Amino acid sequence: MDLTPLIQPADSKLLLLVLDGLGGYADAEHGTELEEATAPHLDALAAEGTSGLCEPVGPGITPGSGPGHLGLFGYDPEVFELGRGALSAAGLDVELRAGDVAARGNLCTIAPDGTIADRRAGRVPDDEARLVIDKLEAGVHIDGVEIVFRHEREHRCLVVLRGDGLDPHLGDTDPQQIGVAPLDPEPRTPEAKRTAEIVAELAGQARTLLADEPKANGLLLRGFDTHRELPQYADRYGLRAAAIAVYPMYRGIARLLGMDVLGAPTGLDDQLGILRDAWNDYDYFFFHHKGTDSAGEDGDRPRKIAAIEALDSIVPQLRDLGPDVIAVTGDHSTPSQMAAHSWHPVPTLVWSERCGRDSVEQFGERWCRHGDLGIRPMKDLMAFMLANAGRLQKYGA
C-alpha cells in the first residue's frame, strides 16, 4: 500500500538499527549467533516491545544487500531495482552519467589452475588494495571507452565504463563461490554484446597486470547497472532522514533515497558521536552496523557473536537520546555455517510506548517466531515504525 496519502506530521524520532546479515539458523550443535550472544539490552527491547521475523524479498529468496536495504526502507525490492554498481557509485560520490555502466568489483585471489581461491583476496587491507586499484587505473586501456576505478573498502572497488553504446544488461563475472573459474560476462540482451566484450577484455587485462600480486591477482565484477532515479524519502514519508554508516555502499543507497549521509565514521564510537550531534536535526536515523555480515561471510561464528554484542553494548546510550520508536533488524541473513547470504527470515523487533508487548522475552530467531509481528515482508517494517511514531493517520471514514 502507498503510505504517502496517510502521512501526517508528528514530533517524534525514529531510529532504525540495522545489524547487516544479522539472521542465522540453529543447528544440532548451536543456536543462532543472535540466540547465543550475550545481548541483555537487545533482549530488553524485545521484552518491552513486539517481535517477529521478516523476509527481505520473499520466501526462499536470498537477497543481495541492495534489495535487502530497499525493503528495510519500505521500497518493494521487486518493484525498485538497484544494481550493486549504482550503489557503490553513490556511496563513493561518483556521479553516473546517462549511458554509464557501473559494477561492484572484488579484488580476488586466482589459483594457478585458474580457479578462484578467495573471492575477497583475504580482505586485503585498504592501503594495499589502493595500490592495486592504482595499478589497474594506470594500466587498463580499451579503445573508445573511459574506465574509472575507485577503491571502496578492503577488497571492494567500483568500476565505471563510460562511452557510446554501452548497456548494463550483463551477467556477473563473480560466481560467488570458490574452486571455480570466473564467469564470462554474458550479455542478457543483444544490445549488451559489445559491453560484454569490453568487460571480458577488462578482466583479461586486469589478470595480466596483477599477475605478480601475492593475494589480489584478479578482479571479479557484479551488479552491473546505470544511473537510477528513485522516489525520495522526504516525499514518501515526510521525514527528515539521516544515515550513519561506515561502508560506502550503505551510504550510497541512503543518498540515492535522499537521506543526508552524516560524517565519515570508522566504527561504532564514531557513529554514536555523530548520532548524538545530529539528534535534534532529523526525524529518522538509519544506523548501520557491518561487522555481523563480514563475520558471517567469513564463516567466523565467534566474531559474528562478538559483533552483535558490540552493538548491544551501545543500546543504553541510544535509548538515552529518547527515541520514540526503535526498530532492530538486518537486511538479510548471513549464517556463519554457510559463509554467505541466505534466504532465512531475519529477526526483527519494534519498540515504542505504543507498540504493545508480546510474549517474547529474548531477541533471537526461534523466539521472534512467536512474536506478534509474525512472519511478514520486510517492506512492511516502515509502516509499523511510522504508525508507532504517530505519523500515519486513519485510513478511510
Between 226-240, 287-301, 307-321, the lowest mean confidence (pLDDT) is in 226-240
- Residue 44: pLDDT band (50, 70, 90) is very high
The reported pTM is: 0.84
- Of 225, 252, 269, the residue that ends a domain is 225
Residue reference for cell 533471537? 364
Residues 383 and 247 in one domain: yes
Tell me the average pLDDT across 176-188: 93
Tell me the average pLDDT across 280-308: 97
* Contact present, 347 and 363 (Cβ < 8 Å): yes
Strands (E), 230-318: 241-244, 260-261, 284-289
- Residue 16: pLDDT band (50, 70, 90) is very high
Domain membership flag for residue 397: no
- Of 192, 210, 225, the residue that ends a domain is 225
Residues 309 and 374 in one domain: yes
Burial of 211: CB neighbours in 10 Å, binned 0-12, 13-18, 19+: exposed
- Residue 125: pLDDT band (50, 70, 90) is very high
* Contact present, 260 and 285 (Cβ < 8 Å): no
Domain membership flag for residue 394: no
Q: What is the Cβ-side half-sphere exposure of residue 353, based on CA atoms within 13 angstroms? A: 8
Stretch (H or E) spanning 313: helix 301-320
Q: How far apart are CA 227 and CA 80, in angstroms?
A: 13
Domain membership flag for residue 127: yes
For helices 84-91 and 248-256, angle between their N-to-C axes, nearest 10 degrees: 90
Phi, psi for residue 88 in degrees, rounded to 5: -65, -40
Helices (runs of H) and strands (runs of E) counted in the chain = 13, 13
Q: Quote the cell numbers at residue 355.
A: 507498540
Strands (E), 230-334: 241-244, 260-261, 284-289, 325-329
The 8-class DSSP code of residue 6 comes to G
Residue 397 or residue 209, greater confidence? 209
Tell me the average pLDDT across 7-35: 97
Question: What CATH number should be reported for the domain holding residue 63?
Answer: 3.40.720.10
Q: What is the Cβ-side half-sphere exposure of residue 107, based on CA atoms within 13 angstroms? A: 32
Q: How far apart are CA 322 and CA 327, in angstroms?
A: 14
Q: Percent of the chain, pLDDT > 70? A: 100
* Contact present, 63 and 332 (Cβ < 8 Å): yes
Domain residues for the domain of 316 are 4-82+230-388
For 68-119, write each residue's pLDDT tens digit. Answer: 999 999 999 999 888 888 888 888 888 888 899 999 999 999 999 999 999 9
Give the DSSP letter string of 82-140.
--HHHHHHHHTT-PPPTT-EEEEEEEEEE-TTSSEEETTTTT--HHHHHHHHHHHHHH-
For 338-390, write each residue's pLDDT tens digit. Answer: 999 999 999 999 999 999 999 999 999 999 999 999 999 999 999 999 999 99
Domain membership flag for residue 321: yes
- Of 210, 225, 240, the residue that ends a domain is 225
Domain count, the chain: 2
Residues 137 and 242 in one domain: no
Residues 74 and 114 in one domain: no
Residues 192 and 259 in one domain: no
Residue 143 or residue 82, greater confidence? 143
For 146-160, write each residue's pLDDT tens digit. Answer: 999 999 989 999 999
Residues 271 and 193 in one domain: no
Residues 195 and 269 in one domain: no
* Contact present, 25 and 344 (Cβ < 8 Å): yes
Domain membership flag for residue 294: yes
- 248 has a pLDDT exceeding 90: no
Closest-CA residue to 290 (of 308, 317, 278): 308
Phi, psi for residue 209 in degrees, rounded to 5: -65, -35
